Structure 1
Amino acid sequence: MLTTSATTSRSLAVLTLAALAITGLSAAACAQAPTTPLAPLSVAPALAEPATPAPVPAYPAMLSAWADRLDARAAELEAMAPVAITRVGPGGTLKKGASGERTSRLIQRLIELGYLTPEQRSASFDDLVDTAVRSFQTASNMTPDGLVGTGTQQALDRSPAEAAGIMRHTATSMRALRDEQLPDAVLVNLPSQTVTLVRDSARVFDMRAVVGRPSRETPLLRDRITHVIVNPTWTVPPTVLKEDKLPMLRSRGTPGISNAVVYLDGEVVAPEIIDWSVVTPGRVRIVQQPGDHNALGRFRFNLTNPENIYLHGTNEPRLFDRELRTISSGCVRLQDARLMAETLLAPQGVTPDRIERMLARGEPQWVKLEKALPVRFTYWMATIDGSGTIRLHPDVYDRVEEAPPSSALPPGDSSRA
């Protein structure tokens, strides 16, 4: 930002500090000029690299440390003086070439954050705005694609006070999980769309996941994995059948699923010869046969809940390249389902070679876990990555109080943080 006096410069620096706090930046980042692209820094002081890798702490201790870190950062944000911010507001994806009210708000917000100068204000989403958005996304550990979708919009709109509230809530939830003292568990965090495996109180791995879309949310379950199914079939769930597949049968005479068997009143039928307009959903069952084409991939991990939510693989690995992966009908798709299966079954003597032979048979095979594995679905909008940086994730199911609607914020107007 360009200023004409030391006082004004200091005021703008304070504004930029407060706004940038929501992206996980440390206070040290504000020593840079506001117009300098700012990279995320750890909220903890930098330490010298150890000569040998530090031992990985037990997961309960790690949860305690993370919760303490989040509370400490929240206290810093709560101590800041309130600042005015311009909210972009929800809506369609903004990208280069866009114009209008929300684009004007986006540009104003980027000026407030120091990614544009007031002199660079324009009437549309031009090349300078695109560069500024990509810089913000990089600083926020997002894919720098220049597209202002839900995730980027929420990150831009989040005030320091809101970020502090998210951190406090997550810290409380982390301590509650710690107090369960689960030495083994699978953790599904919905806002980050990730799955973590904990064995013997140590974090074994993290992987990306696909979770339910907002209209078909993945519920916050406390459950357990009882079986691993190799080469699963997929029976179309009732909601998907009613809302998606039966309408397709009525309009096209096909369910639109490869290698599927269609049952009507318990009997296999040729779907193209049935008058589906007079058929109710309860009379229909559609089962997709095992194989690489199967919607569940090659592995399914059965839970016990009555909502028929489970973990599984997928036949669409490209989905894991997406930043926002809230696109399933409620179940959780795993980026590396085979790794999960091999890790869960290894203690029972099921080797990777044996799994390979099971896969080659092409038929469903159920393997019961000798000890059911707890699964916890969490809603942690704040997490800490491997570098020690706090990351804030999108409110995928609108569980945090929404920002004022865009209609209440004309271009250039602001709301108090």
Structure 2
Amino acid sequence: MTATATHFATRAFTALLLAVSTVLSAGAGRPAQAAPYRDTLTSWADRLDAAATEMEGNPAPAAPRIESGATLKKGVSGERVARLTQRLAELGLLPAEQAGDQFTPAVDMAVRAFQASQRMKPDGLVGAGTRAALDRTPQETAAQMRRTAAEMRSFRDTAPDTVLLVNLPSQTTTFVRDGEEALTMRAIVGRPSRETPLLQDRITHIIVNPTWTVPPTVLKEDKLPLLRAKGTPGIQNALVYLDGEPVAPETVDWSTVSPGRVRIVQQPGDHNALGRFRFNLTNPYNIYLHGTNEPRLFERELRTISSGCVRLEDARRLAEMMLAAERVMPDRVERMLNRPEPQWVKLGQPIPVRFVYWTATVEEDGGIRLHPDIYDLNDEIAQPAAPATAEPPQRV
């Protein structure tokens, strides 16, 4: 290896080591902020505006954009890899003589260093999030920061003291109680084809041990074909209804049955797709929050994989915090979990929920993290939806 290459490799590796601990420490249940949450938002907005001022003076990248496509990783090659290496060289993370159309170990190290600098998981994979960050110009970054700063100040000035905040681009949920941050955790939100809408809503009920009714699209495109092919919906501990009556699915000829005649309900338990807790909202889209039976999914960097509802990494802890105001203590929650049927608790004081679209956030050490524009809303933020008047089929 040449002296220049050694220098760049050392630089990339040092950047990786400096930032990786911060990246990996982010997650569920981080300690509450000492300052009131409104003061925290003020400091975040000021930090973003200051960083935007610095970015606005930087030149635009000379390298062509990598643009969308398959995930790039060590061992692959092609034109998009060539554009990737040009960008890494431009950023000073890769020697210019090592730029080319091969994703080499040196490129892998440079990608990891870039990811760490952006407060992303340093896995060396150039997927949608990393590619978008590499393609972003300083001017686009500055605009993203200023837009988020303005939205944070608006939230600060209008949100109630107690509110559940769901930030879609960062895929996180924060519970602010009496003006102070009580809990922040990872979340899973809707995929781009089934976006989670920007709602202003409220939690009216918490259901312990919920059932899950398969939504119409999943039933039509996935479960009914399984019933026709194998005589089973492929869902653990589920009841299948035909024309409102429970049936043994293996005894029915499903070939001529239309989706509207079928209902599939998964019974409560650890196997349930909603986990053990559901937080009911009031919107007409039947969007709600819930746990999950697949906790491994929270390890993903990009968690836009639901059908619109929001899955919570620590639904039980959030439920216990909210239920404490109803004098339902953790020992009673435990007894409710041990019962075989759903347990409904109506909140005497519904808890406001705000879905926001903040594509820039500030971490505890003051570092700024930019999040992917998962629904392409940066140029036009959707308006909040109206309250519910109906109860459509469930989503997850």
Tell me which of 322, 326, 329 is aligned to 2:307.
329
CA–CA distance in structure 1, aligned partners of residues 81 and 178 of structure 2:
50
| Residue of structure 1 equivalent to 2:258 | 280
CA distance in 1, matches of 2:366, 2:249: 55
Per-residue deviation, 1:372? 0.3
1:66 shift after superposition? 1.4
Q: 373, 376, 379: which one pairs with 2:357?
A: 379
2:319 corresponds to: 341
- Structure-2 change in CA distance of 1:57 and 1:35 (3 Å): closer
Mapping for residues 37-186 of structure 1, pairs under 5 Å: 37-38=14-15, 56-186=34-164
Q: What code does the residue aligned with 1:320 have?
A: F
Structure 2: gaps (5+ residues)? 3-9, 20-30, 380-396
Between Structure 1 and Structure 2, how many residues are aligned?
360
SS where residue 198 of structure 2 aligns? Answer: coil
Aligned-residue sequence identity (percent) comes to: 65
For the Cα contact (< 8 Å) 1:36–1:114, is it kept in 2? no
Mark the runs of 5 or more structure 1 residues left unpaired by the alignment.
Answer: 3-32, 42-52, 402-417
Asked if structure 2 preserves the Cα contact closer than 8 Å seen for 1:263 and 1:284, the reply is: yes
Tell me, yes or no, if the aligned pair for 1:189 and 1:379 is still in contact at 8 Å. Answer: yes
Instruction: Show the counterpart of 1:6.
Output: none
d(CA) in 2 for partners of 1:55, 1:234:
35
How far apart, in 1, do the equivalents of 2:116 and 2:32 lie? 28
Aligned to 1:307: 285
Query: Of 289, 292, 295, which residue of structure 2 is paired with 1:317?
Result: 295
Give the letter aligned to residue 163 of structure 1.
T
- Select between 383-392 and 114-123 the one with higher mean Cα deviation: 114-123
Opposite residue 138 of structure 1, the aligned amino acid is A
Residues 60 and 137 in structure 2, CA contact (< 8 A), matched pair in contact too: no
Q: Distance in 2 between matches of 1:54 and 1:310?
A: 24
* Pairwise CA distance, 1:98: 0.6
The TM-score, its normalising length taken from structure 1, stands at 0.82
Q: Secondary structure at the match of 1:76?
A: helix
Counterpart of 2:170 in structure 1 is: 192
Please give the alpha-carbon distance, in whole angstroms, between the structure 1 residues aligned to 2:114 and 2:309.
32
Whole-Å Cα distance in 2 between the matches of residues 259 and 168 of structure 1?
49
Cα gap change, 1:253 to 1:340, in 2 (>3 Å) = same
Q: 1:283 to 1:209 in 2, by over 3 A?
A: same
Listed one character per residue, the Cα deviations across residues 80-127 of structure 1 (whole Å, up to 9, x for unaligned) are 344424311111111111111111111111111111011222431111
Q: Report the TM-score, using the length of structure 2 for normalisation.
A: 0.86
- SS at 1:211's partner residue? strand
CA distance in 2, matches of 1:188, 1:364: 25
Question: The residue matched to 2:338 in structure 1 has which SS?
Answer: helix
The 1:194–1:54 alpha-carbon spacing in structure 2 relative to 1, beyond 3 Å, is closer
Helix, strand or coil for the counterpart of 1:84? coil
How far the C-alpha of 1:128 sits from its partner, in A, is: 0.9
Instruction: Note the C-alpha offset of 1:34.
Output: 7.5
- Structure 1 residue 54 displacement after superposition: 12
In the alignment, what sits opposite 2:383? none
CA change 1:223–1:181 in 2 (3 A) is closer
Say whether residues 1:360 and 2:332 are aligned partners. Answer: no
Query: Displacement, 1:344?
Result: 0.3
